[in-house]
Amino acid sequence: MGYRVSYRSGSGFNLGPIGFLIITNLILYVATSIKPDLFIGLFGLSRMSFPDQWWTILTSMFIHAPFPNFWHILFNMLTLYFFGNYLINLVNERNFLITYFFGGLLGSFSFLLLSSPLTFAIGASGAVFALAGALTVLRPRLRVFIIPIPIPIPLWVASIIFVMLSFSVGIAWQAHLGGIVFGIIIGYIFKRRHRSIIFNF
């Protein structure tokens, strides 16, 4: 099923890809909170600046709204932790990373194609939505909690709610849409290749 990716220190500590991603995002969140104009201007994604700042199609996935707005990064990192670990258990770390990064990139491309030139996108939401899309295909009846609903609901219902909320003002719905579409597509690829791991919903 592929190789395992790990990040190790000299003492043998295994950080893992999810821990590495979360720590990287948190470090950049602190840096962005200190110098928001610098980091958002340099690493945020927009149609206007993209021709000269092509790297932002990737780096925008690691930049979040600065303090005192902590809900943006909190939601993304919690979802990355829980959905990411579950997906790794199903398809291995290599395929998790493919889903995360290519989902984020497709989300960025979707934003570039569908957004206004005067807007910009930051955050890991496109990549996180890709995880949600893949898991929705593999485990649609998985019970999850979403705020403020006090009881667990099926993942497929939660994903519909997530998509609907994406169209709220100030949210880059284009990136969310691109991410979840990629997640659904690759989820079906995983499902066809590894049917033995998805019989019991």
pLDDT digits (tens, 9 = 90+) for 169-192: 788 899 999 999 999 999 999 998
List the domain range (segments joined by +) for residue 158. Answer: 16-197
Domain presence at residue 134? yes
What are the pLDDT digits (tens) for 1-43?
Answer: 333 433 344 445 567 999 999 999 999 999 999 999 999 999 9
Nearest 10 degrees: CA dihedral of 158, 102, 24, 94? Answer: 90
pTM comes to 0.86
158 phi and psi angles, rounded to 5 deg? -60, -40
Please indicate, yes or no, if residue 6 is contained in any of the structural domains: no
Q: Which pair of structure tokens corresponds to residue 151?
A: 């009881």
CA–CA dist 162, 180 (Å, integer)? 10
Contact 146, 158 (CB under 8 A): yes
Q: Residue 76: inside a domain, yes or no?
A: yes
**55 pLDDT above the threshold of 70:** yes
Query: Can you give the CATH number for the domain in which 184 is found?
Result: 1.20.1540.10
Q: How many domains does the chain have?
A: 1
Residue 2: inside a domain = no
Contacts of 53 (CB under 8 A, 6+ apart): 42
Residue 147 has pLDDT above 90, yes or no: no
